[in-house]
Amino acid sequence: MNFEIELENRTKETESVVKAYLPEESGWAKTVIEAMNYSVNVGGKRLRPMLMAETYKLFGGKDKAVEPFMAAIEMIHTYSLVHDDLPAMDNDEYRRGKKTTWVVYGDAMAILAGDGLLNYAFETALTSFEMSGSSVAAKAKALSILAKKAGIHGMIGGQTADIEAEHLGGTVTQEHLLFIHEHKTAALIQAAMMAGAVLAGASDAQVQMIEQAAYEIGIAFQIQDDILDVTSSLETLGKPVGSDARNQKTTYVTLKGIEEASREQKELSAHAIELLAAFEKEGYHNAFLLELIRSLITRDR
Amino acid sequence: MNFEIELENRTKETESVVKAYLPEESGWAKTVIEAMNYSVNVGGKRLRPMLMAETYKLFGGKDKAVEPFMAAIEMIHTYSLVHDDLPAMDNDEYRRGKKTTWVVYGDAMAILAGDGLLNYAFETALTSFEMSGSSVAAKAKALSILAKKAGIHGMIGGQTADIEAEHLGGTVTQEHLLFIHEHKTAALIQAAMMAGAVLAGASDAQVQMIEQAAYEIGIAFQIQDDILDVTSSLETLGKPVGSDARNQKTTYVTLKGIEEASREQKELSAHAIELLAAFEKEGYHNAFLLELIRSLITRDR
Query: For the residues B5-13, what does the mean pLDDT come to?
Result: 96
- pLDDT class for B88, splitting at 50, 70, 90? very high
Q: Is the per-residue pLDDT at B262 higher than 70?
A: yes
Q: Looking at residues B237-250, what average pLDDT do you find?
A: 76
The closest of A193, A63, A202 to A134, measured between CA atoms, is: A63
Alpha-carbon span A207 to A275, nearest angstrom: 12
What does the alpha-carbon distance between residue B42 and residue A123 come to, in Å, rounded to a whole number? 28
- The whole-number pLDDT of residue A238 equals 67
If you average pLDDT over every residue of chain A, what do you get?
Answer: 94
Task: Specify the pLDDT at position A168.
Answer: 82
Does residue B237 carry a pLDDT above 80?
A: no
pLDDT at B118 over 70: yes
Chain A residues in contact with B120 (beta carbon < 8 A): 151-152
CB contact under 8 A, A140 and B126: yes
**B212-224 tens-digit pLDDT:** 999 999 999 999 9
Nearest CB to A143: which of B88, B109, B126?
A: B126
Res A176 pLDDT > 90? yes
Name the residue among B137, B140, B157 with its Cβ closest to that of A29: B157
Q: Do B108 and A151 touch (CB under 8 A)?
A: no
Query: With an 8 Å Cβ cutoff, are A129 and B148 in contact?
Result: no
What confidence score (pLDDT) does residue A236 get? 74
Q: Any idea what DSSP says for residue A82?
A: H
Q: In this predicted structure, what is the pLDDT of residue A96?
A: 87
Contact flag B160-A31 (C-beta cutoff 8 Å):
yes
| Chain A partners within 8 Å of B152 (Cβ) | 23, 29, 32-33, 36, 116, 119-120
* pLDDT at residue A23, rounded to an integer: 98
With CB atoms and an 8 Å threshold, state whether A118 touches B118: yes
Mean pLDDT of A175-192: 96
Which residue among B83, B144, B147 places its CB closest to the CB of A111?
Answer: B83
For residue B98, which phi and psi values (nearest 5 degrees)?
-115, 155
Say if residue B201's pLDDT is above 80: yes
Q: What pLDDT band is residue A1 in, cutting at 50, 70 and 90?
A: low
CA nearest to B36 within chain A: A152
Select from A20, A12, A80 the least CA-distant residue to A50: A12
What are the structural domains, with CATH classification, of chain A? Answer: 3-298 (1.10.600.10)
Q: C-alpha B219: how far from its chain's center?
A: 12
- Cβ of B143 within 8 Å of Cβ of A126? The answer is yes
Which chain A residues are Cβ-neighbours of B89 within 8 angstroms? 107-108, 111
B:165-194 residues touching chain A, CB 8 A cutoff: 176, 179, 183
Answer whether A68 touches B (CB < 8 Å).
Answer: no
In this prediction, residue B167 carries a pLDDT of: 83
Return residues 28-47 of A near B (CB < 8 Å): 28-29, 31-33, 36
Interface A-B, measured as beta-carbon pairs within 8 A, has a size of 158
Query: Is the distance from CB of B89 to CB of A111 less than 8 angstroms?
Result: yes
Residue B189 has pLDDT above 90, yes or no: yes
How many whole angstroms separate alpha carbon B18 and alpha carbon B39?
Answer: 12
Q: Give me the residues paired with residue B98 across strands.
A: B95
Given a cut of 90, whether residue A297 has pLDDT beyond it is no
pLDDT at B174 > cutoff 70: yes
Average the pLDDT over A94-123 and give the result.
97
Q: Between the ranges A10-24, A227-241, B216-230, where is the mean pLDDT highest?
A: A10-24
pLDDT tens per residue across span B42-86: 988 999 999 999 999 999 999 999 999 999 999 999 999 999 999
Q: Is the pLDDT of residue B187 over 70?
A: yes
Of B28, B83, B107, the CB nearest to A115: B83
Least confident of A124-133, A283-292, B89-98, B246-255: B246-255
Closest in A29, A159, A163 to B161, CB measured:
A29
Identify which of B88, B122, B150 has the shortest CB distance to residue A108: B88
Measured CA to CA, the distance from residue A124 to residue A118 in angstroms comes to 10
3-state secondary structure of A95: strand
Counting residues of chain B whose pLDDT is more than 70, the rounded percentage is: 98
Sort strands B94-95 and B98-99 into parallel, antiparallel or unpaired.
antiparallel
Task: Give percent of chain A with pLDDT exceeding 70.
Answer: 98
CB contact under 8 A, A83 and B111: yes
- pLDDT band at residue B244 using 50, 70 and 90 as cut-offs: confident
Question: Global pTM?
Answer: 0.96
Across the interface, of B86, B122, B144, the residue whose CB is closest to A147 is B122
Task: Please give the pLDDT value at position A242.
Answer: 76
Other beta carbons within 10 angstroms of residue A2's beta carbon come to: 7
Residues contacting A257, CB < 8 A, separation 6+ = none
For residue A131, count other CB atoms closer than 10 A to its CB.
Answer: 14
CB pair distance less than 8 Å for A88 and B87: yes
Three-state SS for A199-255 is HCCCCHHHHHHHHHHHHHHHHHHHHHHHHHHHHCCHHHHCCCCCHHHHCCCCCHHHH
The string of DSSP codes covering chain B is --HHHHHHHHHHHHHHHHHHTSPP--STTHHHHHHHHHHHHT----HHHHHHHHHHHHTT--SSTTHHHHHHHHHHHHHHHHHHHSTTTT---EETTEE-HHHHH-HHHHHHHHHHHHHHHHHHHHGGGGSSSS-HHHHHHHHHHHHHHHSTTTHHHHHHHHHHHHHHGGG--HHHHHHHIIIIIIHHHHHHHHHHHHHTT--HHHHHHHHHHHHHHHHHHHHHHHHHHHH--HHHHSS-S-HHHHTT---HHHHH-HHHHHHHHHHHHHHHHHHHHGGGGGT---HHHHHHHHHHHH---
CA-nearest of B172, B167, B168, B164 to B255 is B172
Question: Residue B232's pLDDT is what?
Answer: 79
Q: What is the largest CA-CA distance in chain B?
A: 55
**ipTM > 0.90 (yes/no):** yes
pLDDT for B1 = 64
Q: What are phi and psi of B240, to 5 degrees?
A: -60, 135
Give the residue on A whose Cα is nearest the Cα of B110.
Answer: A88
- Backbone φ and ψ for B147, nearest 5 degrees, come out as -65, -45
Extended strands (E) in chain A? 94-95, 98-99
Residue B297 clears pLDDT 90, i.e. is over it = no
Determine the angle formed by the axes of helices A136-150 and A107-126, rounding to 10 degrees. 160
Would you give the DSSP letter of residue A94? E
Q: For position B238, what pLDDT does the model report?
A: 67
Q: B-contacting residues of A 258-297, CB under 8 Å?
A: none
